[in-house]
Amino acid sequence: MKLVKLVAAAALLGIVGMLVYQIPAVNSRLSWRVDFARTYLRGVVNPVEAMPTPLPQPAVLVEEFATPTIELAQPTLDELTPTPEVSPTSTPTPTALPDYIALPPPSWEKQDINNCGPASLSMYLRFWGWQGDQFDISEVIKPLREDRNVNVEEMDYYARTRAGWLNTEYRVGGNIELLKAFLAESIPVLIEEGFIMDEAYWPNDDRWAGHYLLLTGYDEASQSFIAHDSFRGPDLYFTYETLNKNWQAFNRVYMLLYPPDREETVRRLLGPHWDVEYNRQYALEAAEAEIAADAEDAFAWFNLGTNLVYFKRYGEAGRAYDQARVLGLPQRMLRYQFGPFFAYFHTGRLDDLFAMTEYALARTPNSEEALLWHGWGLYRQGNQNEAVSYFQQALEANPNYYDAQYALDFVSESP
């Protein structure tokens, strides 16, 4: 009888606990702990290993498949022809910059779980007078709190469609002097970088993750940028050397928001990089130069692959990604960047595609991008029903993920 009462009491406590957990304030405080515990347990059951190295390839590779034509609803690639012989020289900047710049910082906003992108964009928009917060943004570009990644393309999309009174641009292959030049013209800059987390989320966690920083100033005396970090705090100092090193992992991408009357200033500072095609070719050759200086630089090889994917040179891109994988990449790399999926799919290297998407999903089971490309691989194999299942999972992971909806529409319309 006593055992029955204990079981009943335990069941009652469980039910009460579940009901309490549904209270928004409680859920907000505890959900990240539940997610942490679930992630750690998954890492115990399925130990994290290094990213798989490339699989042996046949003597003759297919450089590109013509069908199916996949035109993503929010494409990350443009149909461009590379500009030849672009030298990776520094972008022209004003000859004499001030030694110290500190722009009036927007009110700092502590990021919610997995929300550094929306929080950083919120602060950037607020600098220009926007009234809102990170949750207004995440409702559109990452409606589920568990979504762990927001791409710069998604933030650009939000700014263009929800803050259309501002102009927005993003480029790659940036450098320290260019960042300082924009700050000297009173234009903050948002960058994406690599970041070492304070705690491990699974055994043998390398703790590397992607992160956004809003730069609001610089100080020549300390050779540092001043930045709002949505995780660590406002008005923090990051040395030029450290920032440049961390920034490399994301192809040195930078995002600009500015009023239309500042466009001529932005054009002047970007110089030839106003042309997106030139900018990508520059970044490609800059990656080649970094490889020439250090052939063991995995991020340089990865950036080379990403810039080659941009120009749809998929065979070369796949080989660049191969080398990056051999040298070793962070465990979460494929949570944030998806060029390998494009390269391996379009060259028919489906075994490598599956190896990459499966590795990404083992780390981040709700990665909509990995789910999408795993589905495309299955579709290429003729497994349409399985492909649809993965496309549906991708849409469930992010209900606003237009590329997953496009995939479902594409398959449903196929003969």
The confidence score (pLDDT) of residue 404 equals 98
Which residues lie closer than 8 Å to 307 by C-beta, 6 or more apart? 172, 251, 280, 281, 283, 284, 287
**Residue 380, helix vs strand vs coil:** helix
Give pLDDT, residue 15.
53
Mean pLDDT of the 196-212 span: 94
Which pLDDT does position 76 carry in this prediction?
A: 35
Banded pLDDT at 49 (limits 50, 70, 90)? confident
pLDDT, residue 33, reads: 56
Is the predicted pLDDT of residue 70 greater than 90, yes or no?
A: no
The CATH class, in words, for 52-75+316-413 is mainly alpha
Q: Is the pLDDT of residue 175 over 90?
A: yes
Q: Compute the residue count for the chain.
A: 415
- Alpha-helical (H) ranges within 22-93 are 24-45
∠ CA 216-217-218, rounded to 5° = 150
Averaged over 24-31, what is the pLDDT?
A: 51
**pLDDT of the residue at 415:** 72
Q: What is the mean pLDDT of residues 311-327?
A: 98
Q: Between 24 and 108, whose confidence is greater?
A: 108
Cβ burial, residue 175 (10 Å; 0-12/13-18/19+): middle
> Cα(20)–Cα(26) distance, rounded to whole angstroms?
7
153 exposed, middle or buried (CB, 10 Å; 0-12, 13-18, 19+)?
middle
- Structure-block tokens of residue 120: 């950083």
Q: How many CA atoms lie within 13 A of 350 on its CB side?
A: 12
Which residues lie across from 45 on neighbouring strands? Answer: none
Question: What is the C-alpha to C-alpha distance for residues 124 and 122, in angstroms, rounded to an integer?
Answer: 5
pLDDT score recorded for residue 16: 45
Looking at the predicted structure, is the pLDDT value of residue 406 above 60? yes
CB count, 10 Å around CB of 227? 27
Return the structure tokens found at 178: 């260019």
The backbone torsions φ and ψ at residue 167, rounded to the nearest 5 degrees and listed phi first, read -85, 150
Q: What proportion of the chain, given as a percentage, has pLDDT over 70?
A: 81
pLDDT digits (tens, 9 = 90+) for 217-245: 999 999 999 999 999 999 999 999 999 99
State which amino acid sits at residue 34.
V
CATH topology of domain 100-277: Cathepsin B; Chain A (3.90.70)
What's residue 3's pLDDT? 59
Q: Please say if the pLDDT value at position 141 is more than 80.
A: yes
Mean pLDDT for the chain? 87
Of the candidates 48, 138, 32, 29, which has an alpha carbon nearest to the alpha carbon of residue 335? 48
